[in-house]
């Protein structure tokens, strides 16, 4: 089973651009929704919450409007579908950030450092079965 929608949530346009190129190479660009503002992304994701869609979110941690962890906190208290997988894609290699990511097992499936590589993205997107269990260290 593949993802119906893939959200790219990063405050840097260049990162979203690069991730979109990777999705294009994998034939998945038409599924991408790009947001530099995490609050707008949350609104859009929630708007699709009643639909039976598989959603993947590639989420940055360090953003000025709202951190990735604040984003996840909103997801935990909101009415979000269980069909959402979050991959944290960040430049942080902090063990404390990895520890915080483990506090959101309902959604977070992996913690990947930037830059995201095409082989890793292919593994993530080709099958949800491959990330049903958390890959967090």
Domain spans of the chain?
Answer: 5-90+101-108
pLDDT value for 136: 53
What are the pLDDT digits (tens) for 41-64? 999 998 876 678 899 999 999 999
The predicted model gives 6-21 an average pLDDT of 97
CA angle, residues 71, 14, 132, in degrees to nearest 5 = 45
Tell me the CATH architecture of domain 5-90+101-108.
3-Layer(aba) Sandwich (3.40)
Confidence of residue 81 (pLDDT cuts 50, 70, 90): confident
The alpha-helical segments, DSSP class H, found in 26-117 are 38-47, 68-77, 95-101
Cα–Cα distance measured from residue 104 to residue 21, given in angstroms and rounded to the nearest whole number: 28
**Overall pTM surpassing 0.95 (yes/no):** no
């Amino acid at each position: 089973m593949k993802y119906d929608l893939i959200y790219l949530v990063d405050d840097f346009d260049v990162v979203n651009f690069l991730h979109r190129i990777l999705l294009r190479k994998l034939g998945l660009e038409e599924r991408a929704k790009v947001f530099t503002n995490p609050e707008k992304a949350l609104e859009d994701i929630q708007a699709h919450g009643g639909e039976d869609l598989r959603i993947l979110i590639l989420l940055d941690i360090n953003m000025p409007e709202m951190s990735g962890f604040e984003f996840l906190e909103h997801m935990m208290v909101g009415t979000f579908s269980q069909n959402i997988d979050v991959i944290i894609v960040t430049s942080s290699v902090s063990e404390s950030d990895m520890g915080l990511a483990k506090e959101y097992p309902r959604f977070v499936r992996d913690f990947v450092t930037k830059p995201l590589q095409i082989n890793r993205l292919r593994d993530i997107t080709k099958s949800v079965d491959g990330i049903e269990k958390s890959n967090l260290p």
